[in-house]
Amino acid sequence: METGWAPARKPAAQKAWRKVLRPVAAELATEAGALAARATEALRAEEPAWFPDAESVAESVKSNEAHFLLIARMLERGDDPRLVDLPASTVEATRSVVHRQLALAVVLRSYRLGHEMMWQWLFDRITRQALGAAEQAAALDLASGWLFAYVDVTVTQTERQYTAEREAWLRSAAAARAEAIAAILAGRERDQKRATTRLRYELNRHHLGLVAWGVETTSDPRAVSAVERVVAAAGQAVGADATLTHGLGPQTYAAWLSRTTPFSEAELDPARLPVPAGVRVVVGDPAQGLDGFRRTHIEATHARRVVMLAEPRATPVTRYRDVAVAALGTVDPEQARTFVVRVLGRLAADDENTLRLSTTLACYLDENCSRTRTAERLVIHPNTVTYRVQQAKQILGRGIDSDTLDLRVALALLPTLRGLPRDR
């Protein structure tokens, strides 16, 4: 009987295969189950977290046993190990590892451990026989070469399968999650328990919606990483128990930060979140449950519109509540521009000096016309506040002691003016 593996066709190797490896392979077939159990137990002892239940243990044993049996059959026939196909149980076990979101290292460690155990078993069986030195060396060399070739091929096949399975699973999971998020945001999904299951994210909590993005479009992966890091840092800054992220574009992420207890005002201070240059973050107001999940995100998207209209003067972190009036007022961009220009006149000019006057006036009105509080907030002298307010009043050609609602709204919209469309 001629072997299919070229190295075993040499006279000395062929003799070693017939006299030593074929009987050893037959013995391996009878011990495959015991070896598989030992291999799984050894891996479980190293990483118990990889085996959370009896099913995962049984799955590993089945896959290992299939490999040992396949090795036994191929070795007994003298088959070429480079032509091996993965056992069906191994394919299924790899798929399970992907779906349990375990790293490829789990699979690779299993192969290394199995290889070590298999080689030790073969070595013991070969060396315990009454063989001459040359005969024993030939048998060990043949077994070693065959086993290394087998492991190399099966590891390569498994890595490819893992990668393909993971990509498919991620696409499927991402698509399902995106569909669930879209249904919630559109108001079609009203069942909180069902939505939680679909998202794999607990909705019966307090949520903080945010959107983070890169200001300039680029294909540089470092820019994307910077946005991802900001999202992660935001979760840490507010003490979130869980974070759900959802890609909105190449450099844009929506995220929901959640926890069982309400978020405090101190935790929501924008100064707590360091944001690198070139990244912007907007945050909705915290809210609870399914409706809160929807509302806080919608607020964040409206705040994002305001920030994008106000570029390049936008701040790195913006809360919706700080730009709520501008968010409401810019839903109709053309009317917003017309309104601002009509109310503010020359005070809507874009030069730095006029901008200082309008900013001071807006703050002054926010602080109930207190020049002291305005000065503290803007870090300027109270007399400077008085001078700027007087200058603004002269430009407006009106007083500010009464009927200031339109003025307040126009000043809130003013930072977005550069981004609003021109009158047709």
Residue 245 tokens, joined = 């992220």
pLDDT at residue number 1: 57
Question: What is the number of domains present in the chain?
Answer: 3
CATH number, domain with residue 402: 1.10.10.2840
Quick one: 316 and 352 in the same domain? no
Distance CA 102, CA 409 (A): 53
Q: How confident is the model at residue 36 (pLDDT cuts 50, 70, 90)?
A: very high
Quick one: 281 and 151 in the same domain? no
List pLDDT tens digits, range 108-121.
Answer: 988 999 999 999 99
CATH number, domain with residue 84: 1.10.490
Tell me: pLDDT of 149 over 70.
Answer: yes
Tell me: pLDDT of 217 over 70.
Answer: no
The candidate with the shortest Cα–Cα distance to 56, out of 44, 66, 65, is 44
* Residues spanned by the domain of 264: 201-325
Phi, psi of 157 (to 5 degrees): -65, -40
Quick one: 38 and 147 in the same domain? yes
Helices (H), 345-417: 352-366, 371-378, 382-396, 405-413
Quick one: 404 and 281 in the same domain? no
pLDDT at residue number 71: 93
List pLDDT tens digits, range 159-177.
Answer: 999 999 888 877 887 788 8
Phi, psi of 207 (to 5 degrees): -120, 145
Quick one: 262 and 368 in the same domain? no
Residues 6+ apart with CB under 8 A from 77: 3, 4
Asked, as a colleague might, if the bond just before 312 is cis with ω within 30 of 0, I would say yes
Quick one: 156 and 276 in the same domain? no
**Going by DSSP bridges, is the β-strand pair 242-249/252-259 parallel, antiparallel, or unpaired?**
antiparallel
Over residues 68-73, the mean pLDDT reads: 94
What is the signed CA dihedral for 87, 92, 94, 98, rounded to 10 degrees? Answer: 170
CATH number, domain with residue 253: 3.30.70
Q: How far is CA 65 from CA 322, 337, 423, in A?
A: 63, 73, 75
For residue 216, tell me if it sits in a domain: yes
- Neighbour-count burial for 162-174, b at 16+ CB within 10 Å, e otherwise: beebbeeeeeeee
Over residues 59-87, the mean pLDDT reads: 91
Name the one residue in this structure whose structure tokens are 């006279």: 11
List pLDDT tens digits, range 374-424.
Answer: 999 999 999 999 999 999 999 999 888 888 999 999 999 999 998 888 765
